[in-house]
Amino acid sequence: MAESPSTKTRERKGSMSFPPSMSSSSGPLTKELQCSICLDVFTDPVSTPCGHNFCKTCLNKCWDNSQTCNCPYCKETFKHRPDLKINTTLREIVDHYDKKSPEKKAEVLCDVCEERKLKALKSCLVCQSSYCETHLETHLRVSGLKKHKLINPVSNLEDYICQKHERPLELFCRDDQTCVCLSCTDGDHKNHNTVSLEETQLIIQDTQQMIQDRFKKIHDIKHSAEVRKRNTEKEKAARVELFTDLIRSIERCQTELLEMMEEQQKAAEKQEEELIEELEQEITELKMRNTELEQLSHTEDHLHLLQIYSSLCSSRNTRNWSEISVKTDESLETLRRALTKLQDSLQEKLTLTVSTELKRRQQYAVDVTLDPDTAHPELILSDDGKQVRHGDIEQKLPDKPERFDYCVCVLGKEGFSSGRFYFEVQVKGKTQWDLGVARESINRKGSITLSPSNGHWTVALRNENEYKACDDPPVSLCVRVKPQRVGVFVDYEEGLLSFYDVESSSHLYSFTDQSFTGKLYPFFSPEPNDGGKNSTPLIITPVKQ
């Protein structure tokens, strides 16, 4: 026969053993094990998402008779009826209470009474006897007996005595999850983590709090999942609408292109028919002229023949057909115009999409300030730590390990090792710059090669209009307009770093599937001022939501 779940739970290897004194007091513990609906000890206890416990049957009846599902204790309302699962840990506690509780057992009688045994008031773990109020008096009066361990009356006193040392079980070993006596702490349980039996009440409370915390976490995760699901459905609907619109645009472009090609074909055919008709008419006329000339060719008066020929030619206007040609390449030009129109439509939708994406990135804006302790000695920082430019003279600054000594770079003060963050930098008027993030452990001395393998994720401008992403290998960037303000977004866990042209709402470049380790710091290099051509500073600007 298969064992019941409760039996398996109680006999599971390594499950917690509860000390006898946990059931020795019928006061606070009994209250904690009571269902607030039936006011009795839990039967098949279940926990609500808000962390309160009830009998499964009691809670189901309560909800069956109500139009809403709320906690009978704190009145928190649940949108959906929770799927109730038996709290096995709490049920183990209840089973132990049922087994040990004096309220669940036959009445314990005094061991000293001879004729009519009275109800015992306390049991002594040292004497291993139970006493009524009268016979307990000596334990309350005699100084030697006052030190004895008294508990609420129990009939199974042997369960409260260490079988090895015959001393009261006064401690609970948290390492071995069992009750021990003082002598045990000098032997098998030496150096173990033990607490007094009174403190085990805190263990129960901690366990119950852990249960409640985990139920709350489950509730939070489910809520987050519902929110994510709703957002995903909205996003899916928006994406379907976008691509449906794009498909319609392509189909419309295709239809217009085919119609235009058909019209051009018809026009060409009509022109060809007209030309052929005109050519055939001229051929007919030329044949008639040729017949007349052949008739006149027999005369010996050649002057008269030429005069008649000139008269025939002047009376008929013939076209110079060497200048007439039929166009055969208009379809390619038509296709180019159609694709250009489609490209403009796609670019418009891409701009709208990037604009929406950028607004979401901007929600993770952080306040970035430059760290003067990392700045190259030739860099000049503003007092508020928001601007940096290259100066001509090297300042006398202490050579700290974190300071760049060769490349004109500076890091932000704040580092990030999790989550998402975003910041914006004005690059207007500059001919050269480097911008991005860098790992805290990067090399700061001597020459530096910007690349992810060296701990840098950056984009750069060179020679006023040459943009590149410093990837492995570097990637040349094609930008529609010269960026005036660049946005930098990082998703640490996702391994994503993206750059945006804020003004035109366009995407510049993204590093994807990166493995970030340690802290990441905003990275800036205004590059040398190039005789004043590149003297404009890099400026960390507030993010406009």
Would you state the pLDDT for residue 51?
85
Whether the bond between 473 and the residue before it is cis, its omega within 30 degrees of 0, is yes
Over residues 181-197, the mean pLDDT reads: 87
Would you state the pLDDT for residue 23?
37
Task: Give the pLDDT band of residue 349 (cuts 50, 70, 90).
Answer: confident
DSSP β-bridge partners for residue 453: none
Q: In angstroms, rounded to a whole number, what is the distance separating the alpha carbons of residues 188 and 406?
A: 64
Over residues 449-454, the mean pLDDT reads: 95
Would you state the pLDDT for residue 174?
81
Element (H, E) at 70: strand 69-70
Q: Supply the DSSP symbol for 152.
A: S
Indicate whether 151 pLDDT > 80: yes
Indicate whether 293 pLDDT > 80: no
Give the angle 177-181-183 at the CA atoms, nearest 5°.
Answer: 120
Element (H, E) at 525: strand 520-525
The conformational region for residue 393 under phi > 0 = left, psi -120 to 50 = alpha, else beta, is: beta
Indicate whether 12 pLDDT > 60: no
Please, how many CA atoms are within 13 Å of residue 298, restricted to the half-sphere of its CB? 4
Element (H, E) at 520: strand 520-525
457-509 residue pLDDT tens: 999 999 999 999 999 999 999 888 899 999 999 999 999 999 999 998 889 99
Q: In angstroms, rounded to a whole number, what is the distance separating the alpha carbons of residues 239 and 219?
A: 30
Would you state the pLDDT for residue 504?
87
Report the share of the chain in percent with pLDDT over 90. Answer: 36
CB 536 within 8 A of CB 484: no
Mean pLDDT of the chain, nearest integer: 84
Distance of CA 55 to the CA centre of its chain: 38
Q: In angstroms, rounded to a whole number, what is the distance separating the alpha carbons of residues 198 and 179?
A: 12
DSSP β-bridge partners for residue 490: 421, 497
